[in-house]
Amino acid sequence: QVQLVESGGGLVQAGGSLRLSCSASGSIFSINVMGWYRQAPGKQRELVAVTSSCGSRNYADSVKGRFTISRDNAKNTVYLQMNSLKPEDTAVYYCNLGAVGINYWGKGTLVTVSS
């Protein structure tokens, strides 16, 4: 079975930085994309950043220029470096792994940005 474990969330002051990490374990076949989503209370889960197997990267407009996604394919690990954090970035951040025919989700890690 596949399991995704996120880490790195916490409380940070506005303008600060956090680095999220997500490691996948288990049997995973033909990974297409790995990415990060977030969900604030009362809102739908939204895509934050995604990276494909070819190395391309895409970001939500709200985080472009502040966040950087990267991954280590050999370790099945994806990272999200978050700089210049704003209170509106407060949310539960979820790791996502897209394989052929199925998506896997982590349990989420809470990021709280204080003003």
pLDDT digits 0-9 by tens, 16-25: 999 999 999 9
Closest CA to 112 of 39, 10, 43, 33: 10
For residues 22 and 6, give the distance between their C-alpha atoms in angstroms, rounded to a whole number: 4
Residue 88, helix vs strand vs coil? helix
Which pLDDT value is given to residue 40?
A: 96
Model confidence pLDDT, tens digit, residues 101-112: 889 999 999 999
Mode of pairing for the β-strands spanning 10-13 and 109-114? parallel
Model confidence pLDDT, tens digit, residues 61-88: 999 999 999 998 888 899 999 999 999 9
How many other CB atoms are found less than 10 A from the CB of residue 42? Answer: 5
For residues 35 and 32, give the distance between their C-alpha atoms in angstroms, rounded to a whole number: 10
Model confidence at 30, pLDDT cuts 50, 70, 90, reads confident
Which pLDDT value is given to residue 27?
A: 78
Are 2 and 102 a contacting pair, CB within 8 Å? no
